[in-house]
């Protein structure tokens, strides 16, 4: 392997099924600067080493030596270790998509050894009843791995978790003391596996700078272990630290001990800060210039922001580069029967961003004061689809997850049209706000371009609280938008929240009733309840008195994000957690709608005050908006087959044409006077996604009125209504 100047690392652990994209974004940028870099997802490499025959044999030996095999569950797994080891590598291969015929074996009753994770199978059988064999096998294989994970956690390393490691140590760690103490203790077996892989890669790459991208608290401990190892064995190598955790939590760091493990902490957009760090390391410039970077100077933590250059525009940061990553070795798992969660954990997705930041940027629970949300900058649709084509060529994968805070509807429309214009076959999904611009026609366009799912924040399904959150939507609006998406064939996942400041018990129950109705009507297919968490950089965190809460503030020398607080309502929101999640699990599988809301809770709750037909009434409101002259007209169908005919009009026979339109799964027919049929076919030809310029409603109306009268009568005629229902879109 050739030597590189930089080694980019995602430390253990993030996702099993696809690389976290930060290093790919950075490598793509460094390509534009001719800086040589090698990237690795240390997390997936550790998982593959751990869940190998040798790795698990070591875990069983360590557990025996530790005398920690005490619970009935761990004793069972230890007793069945030969059976676990025999099938381990074939199962991993199956989850990598390399051994699909094993599905039949996995689905048989006696192939996989079973411990406590399989006790939930009886509950799951009905939930997975319609599941294909491959997916069911993935779920069973996931339970098998989770049994082994439980064994490791109980008997070898209490901090282990598939998508996080020692997360508790990184969460709200206002002081560095506890983390530092753990880093001073002996290496765990998982630390040893991690550092063995790191050592091998450093020997191969021989970098001058190692960049640790730390997206979550569950990556923090391992990243510092890596820094500690490099400092001890390769003191000449510099270490930079960045990513989501640093951006949100390390803005107030003062503890000098942190710099025993790293040399630089860069905040926010990483391109320019990293370019300047690279200059500092490779060129050893005397005039040290930095952008949003903490360094240690005269034994003090100093924040350097003495570069006058502006951050790079999104059009200039390059296309993410996934080279070096082990793309065919990621593991697709299905943990729970939630259709949206299966998208997150099953299959390999190329990650892209439509727009930097959030175009709304007002939600009071969100970190809207930080640059990654505050600074909104969309990327041109043509550049985005160029990047999609480049990634398809590089990775062989045509699935895309746009990781936006909230993808803007206008840009989604432009991207969809560009995909259709280039006749690409892609699959994509993203996060949105449920705002009124997601009309039925826009949703049909998104689906036609390959959009399969969206997730969005319904948060607390209460108009009072949505206003307090400054979400800019109402429950009625959410219902109409989710109906539009669902009818177009796009799956909808709702983020749901409870425990928002000043939220009453009545509002929690009413919110659950809204959710029950949304699922019963089938306009939301997936959801997840989160308990409100107060963050230091949100409007609530910065102005707690406006929301009637009192934060419990601690001195900050290390991380600062999650803040404990006192809510004057005195409601114990935690007690609602189990009932909210249990009811939602049932609703997602189409059952339990007839049960009283009280049945989900083992304590007394008030009756809902929401009308049982509230959401249905919202959907029956007239949502029609008459087209404006600048609205685009797009025809998604094919050219029709044409047959001559005659129609009778006022006692006269008039020559007409029957236009027969064939669609992939259906066909329909309309009949018009010959002259109007010819005109309409010409107009449809000018309305295809490949047409230029794009046809507009105003141009169509003017063209019609130059030949005939009363365009509105024609626009609402039966043939046009049929056409509009079958792919003639107003956008």
Average pLDDT, the chain: 91
Q: How many residues does the chain have?
A: 731
381 vs 359, 399, 416, CA distance in Å? 16, 17, 9
Residue 219 to residue 164: CA distance in whole angstroms: 6
Residue 200 to residue 480: CA distance in whole angstroms: 55
- Lowest mean pLDDT, pick from 41-50, 124-133, 652-661: 124-133
296, 344: one domain: no
Q: What is the pLDDT of residues 357-398, one digit of tens each?
A: 998 888 988 988 888 888 888 999 999 999 999 999 999 999
> Do residues 672 and 684 lie in contact, with contact meaning Cβ atoms separated by under 8 Å?
no
Q: Is the pLDDT of residue 588 over 80?
A: yes
pLDDT for 171: 67
561, 529: one domain: no
- Does 203 fall in a domain? yes
Q: What is the pLDDT of residues 511-562, one digit of tens each?
A: 999 999 999 999 999 999 999 988 888 888 889 888 888 888 788 888 787 7
Tell me what the mean pLDDT of segment 348-357 comes to: 92
Q: Could you tell me which of 276, 254, 196, 374 has the C-alpha nearest to residue 30?
A: 276
> In sequence order, which residues have a C-beta less than 8 Å from that of residue 728 and are 6 or more positions away?
633, 634, 635, 636, 637, 684, 687, 720
Q: What is the pLDDT of residues 48-64, one digit of tens each?
A: 999 999 999 999 999 99
- Lowest mean pLDDT, pick from 254-263, 331-340, 418-427, 461-470: 331-340
Tell me what the mean pLDDT of segment 455-473 comes to: 88
| pLDDT band of 127, cuts 50, 70, 90 | low
Crossing angle (nearest 10°) for helices 577-588 and 505-520: 10
159, 279: one domain: yes
Question: What is the SS3 assignment for 404?
Answer: coil
603, 642: one domain: no
Question: What is the SS3 assignment for 167?
Answer: helix
Backbone angles phi, psi at 73, to 5 degrees: -65, -45
- Does 316 fall in a domain? no
Q: What is the pLDDT of residues 433-463, one digit of tens each?
A: 999 999 999 999 999 999 999 999 988 888 8
- Does 355 fall in a domain? yes
pLDDT for 375: 86
Q: Is the pLDDT of residue 576 over 70?
A: yes
pLDDT for 226: 97
> Do residues 124 and 139 lie in contact, with contact meaning Cβ atoms separated by under 8 Å?
yes
> In sequence order, which residues have a C-beta less than 8 Å from that of residue 541 and are 6 or more positions away?
534, 535, 551, 563
Question: What is the SS3 assignment for 102?
Answer: helix
pTM, two decimal places: 0.89
483, 511: one domain: yes
Mark which of 586, 620, 654 sits at the end of a domain. 620
Residue 448 to residue 539: CA distance in whole angstroms: 38
Backbone angles phi, psi at 294, to 5 degrees: -90, 135
Tell me what the mean pLDDT of segment 25-34 comes to: 96
pLDDT for 122: 56
| pLDDT band of 191, cuts 50, 70, 90 | very high
Number of folded domains in the chain? 4
Residue 507 to residue 527: CA distance in whole angstroms: 18
Mark which of 282, 304, 326 sits at the end of a domain. 304
> Do residues 19 and 41 lie in contact, with contact meaning Cβ atoms separated by under 8 Å?
yes
pLDDT for 647: 67
Q: What is the pLDDT of residues 264-307, one digit of tens each?
A: 999 999 999 999 999 999 887 677 899 999 999 999 999 999 99
Q: Could you tell me which of 373, 66, 9 has the C-alpha nearest to residue 222?
A: 9
- Does 456 fall in a domain? yes
| pLDDT band of 599, cuts 50, 70, 90 | very high
Backbone angles phi, psi at 367, to 5 degrees: -75, 60
- Does 414 fall in a domain? yes
366, 237: one domain: no
pLDDT for 510: 95
Place of tokens 């025999």: 86
- Does 130 fall in a domain? yes
Residue 288 to residue 271: CA distance in whole angstroms: 17
Q: What is the pLDDT of residues 410-425, one digit of tens each?
A: 999 999 999 999 999 9
pLDDT for 121: 67
pLDDT for 610: 95
615, 690: one domain: no
pLDDT for 126: 53
120, 57: one domain: yes
- Does 324 fall in a domain? no
- Residue 672 C-beta-side C-alpha neighbours within 13 Å: 23
Tell me what the mean pLDDT of segment 189-193 comes to: 96
Residues forming beta bridges with residue 527, ordered by sequence position: 494
- Does 625 fall in a domain? no
| pLDDT band of 155, cuts 50, 70, 90 | very high
Q: Is the pLDDT of residue 130 over 60?
A: no
109, 244: one domain: yes
Q: Could you tell me which of 53, 22, 17, 51 has the C-alpha nearest to residue 37?
A: 22
Place of tokens 């990293």: 274
Q: Which CATH number does the domain housing residue 506 bear?
A: 3.80.30.20
Q: How far is C-alpha 718 from the chain's CA centre?
A: 42
Q: Is the pLDDT of residue 170 over 80?
A: no
104, 184: one domain: yes
489, 541: one domain: no
What is the residue range of 713's domain?
Answer: 633-730
Q: What is the pLDDT of residues 627-674, one digit of tens each?
A: 999 999 999 999 999 988 766 666 577 788 999 999 989 999 999 999
83, 108: one domain: yes
Q: What share of the chain is helix, strand, coil (3-state, %, to 5)?
A: 45, 15, 40
Tell me what the mean pLDDT of segment 400-410 comes to: 93
Q: Is the pLDDT of residue 237 over 70?
A: yes
> In sequence order, which residues have a C-beta less than 8 Å from that of residue 685 and are 6 or more positions away?
639, 691
Mark which of 563, 598, 620 sits at the end of a domain. 620
Q: Could you tell me which of 133, 527, 198 has the C-alpha nearest to residue 341?
A: 527
Q: Kindly state the DSSP code that residue 313 receives in the 8-state scheme.
A: P
């Amino acid at each position: 392997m050739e030597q590189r100047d930089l080694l980019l690392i995602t430390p253990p652990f993030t996702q099993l099924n696809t690389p976290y994209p930060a290093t790919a974004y950075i490598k793509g940028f460094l390509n534009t600067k001719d800086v040589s870099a090698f990237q690795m997802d240390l997390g997936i490499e550790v998982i593959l080493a751990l869940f190998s025959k040798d790795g698990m044999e070591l875990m069983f030996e360590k557990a025996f030596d530790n005398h920690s095999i005490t619970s009935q569950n761990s004793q069972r797994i230890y007793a069945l270790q030969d059976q676990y080891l025999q099938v381990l590598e074939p199962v991993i291969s199956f989850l990598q998509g390399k051994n699909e015929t094993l599905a039949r074996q996995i689905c048989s009753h006696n192939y996989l050894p079973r411990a406590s994770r399989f006790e939930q199978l009886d509950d799951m059988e009905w939930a997975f009843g319609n599941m294909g064999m491959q997916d069911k096998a993935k779920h069973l294989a996931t339970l098998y791995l989770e049994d082994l994970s439980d064994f490791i956690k109980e008997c070898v390393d209490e901090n282990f978790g598939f998508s996080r490691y020692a997360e508790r140590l990184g969460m709200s760690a206002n002081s560095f003391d506890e983390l530092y103490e753990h880093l001073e203790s002996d290496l765990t077996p998982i630390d040893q596996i991690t550092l063995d892989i790191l050592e091998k890669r450093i020997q191969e790459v021989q970098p001058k700078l190692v960049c640790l991208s730390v997206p979550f608290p569950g990556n923090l401990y391992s990243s510092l272990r890596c820094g500690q190892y490099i400092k001890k064995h390769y003191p000449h190598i510099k270490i930079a630290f960045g990513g989501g955790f640093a951006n949100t939590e390390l803005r107030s760091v003062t503890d000098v001990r942190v710099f025993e493990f790293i040399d630089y902490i860069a905040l926010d957009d990483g391109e320019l800060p990293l370019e300047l760090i690279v200059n500092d390391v490779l060129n050893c410039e005397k005039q040290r210039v930095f952008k949003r970077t903490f360094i240690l100077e005269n034994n003090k933590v100093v924040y350097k922001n003495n570069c006058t250059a502006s951050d790079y525009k999104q059009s200039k940061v390059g296309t993410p580069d996934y080279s070096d990553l082990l793309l065919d070795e990621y593991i697709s798992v299905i943990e729970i029967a939630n259709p949206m969660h299966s998208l997150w954990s099953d299959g390999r997705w190329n990650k892209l961003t439509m727009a930097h930041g959030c175009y709304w940027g007002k939600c009071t629970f969100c970190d809207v004061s930080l640059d990654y949300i505050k600074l909104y900058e969309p990327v041109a649709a043509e550049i985005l689809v160029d990047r999609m084509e480049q990634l398809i060529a590089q990775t062989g994968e045509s699935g895309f997850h746009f990781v936006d805070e909230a993808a803007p509807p206008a840009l989604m429309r432009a991207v969809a049209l560009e995909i259709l214009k280039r006749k690409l076959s892609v699959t994509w999904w993203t996060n949105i706000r449920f705002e009124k611009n997601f009309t039925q026609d826009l949703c049909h366009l998104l689906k036609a371009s390959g959009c399969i799912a969206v997730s969005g924040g319904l948060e607390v399904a209460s108009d009072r609280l949505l206003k307090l959150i400054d979400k800019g939507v109402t429950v009625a609006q959410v219902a109409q938008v989710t109906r539009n998406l669902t009818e177009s064939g796009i799956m909808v996942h709702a983020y749901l929240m409870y425990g928002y400041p000043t939220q009453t018990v009545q509002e929690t129950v009413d919110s659950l009733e809204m959710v029950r109705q949304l699922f019963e009507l089938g306009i939301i297919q997936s959801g997840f309840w989160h308990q409100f968490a107060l963050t230091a950089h949100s409007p609530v965190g910065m102005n707690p008195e406006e929301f009637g809460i009192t934060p419990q503030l601690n001195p900050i020398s290390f991380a600062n994000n999650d803040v404990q607080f006192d809510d004057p309502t005195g409601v114990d929101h935690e007690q609602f957690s189990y009932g909210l999640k249990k009811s939602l699990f049932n609703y997602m599988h189409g059952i339990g709608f007839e049960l009283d809301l009280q049945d989900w809770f083992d304590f007394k709750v008030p009756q809902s005050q929401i009308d049982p037909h509230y959401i249905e009434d919202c959907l029956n409101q007239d949502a029609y908006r008459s087209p404006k002259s600048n609205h685009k007209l797009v025809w998604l169908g094919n050219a029709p087959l044409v047959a001559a005919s005659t129609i009778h009009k006022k006692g006269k026979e008039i020559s007409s044409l029957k236009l027969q339109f064939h669609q992939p799964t259906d066909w329909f027919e309309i009949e018009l006077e010959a002259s109007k049929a010819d005109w309409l076919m010409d107009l449809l030809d000018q309305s295809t996604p490949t047409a230029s310029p794009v046809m507009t409603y105003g141009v169509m109306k003017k063209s019609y009125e130059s030949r005939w009268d009363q365009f509105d009568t024609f626009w609402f005629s039966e043939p046009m209504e049929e056409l509009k229902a079958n792919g003639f879109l107003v956008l």
